[in-house]
Amino acid sequence: MTDVRQNALTIDVEDYFQVAALAEAVSRDEWPTMEYRVEANTERLLELFSERDVKATFFTLGWVAERSPGLVRKIQQAGHEIASHGYSHQLVYTQTPEVFREETHK
């Protein structure tokens, strides 16, 4: 019998200023003014994963997907799964049902 091991790998496609830990320090209104690094960082991961034939689930922030639709297409074309990380990185357990619907729809 062959020993088959499976692993799961997930990537959060968001920028450094969008993490929940910085929510009080960097408001969402400031996001467009911040240095945007997510494209280059994600493309580097795609290169590394391609070299090793690694597949992952990329939890993509809607705000990023809206600004970088080509990046989302690259992730998909490389054979990775794309998942939603919400639109604006609000913690789901702090959202009202209305905000959750809006974030999911957007």
The domain ranges of the chain are 10-15+25-105
Q: What is the pLDDT of residues 60-102, one digit of tens each?
A: 999 999 999 999 999 999 999 999 989 988 888 888 999 989 9
Within a 10 A sphere around the Cβ of 11, how many other Cβ atoms?
19
pLDDT-based confidence at residue 1 (cuts at 50, 70, 90): low
Mean model confidence pLDDT for the chain: 92
Rounded to an integer, the average pLDDT of 15-40 is: 91
The CATH architecture annotation of domain 10-15+25-105 reads Alpha-Beta Barrel (3.20)
Tell me if 59 sits within 8 A of 12, measured CB to CB. yes
pLDDT at 20: 81
> What pTM value is reported for the model?
0.87
What whole-number distance in Å separates Cα of residue 83 and Cα of residue 76? Answer: 10
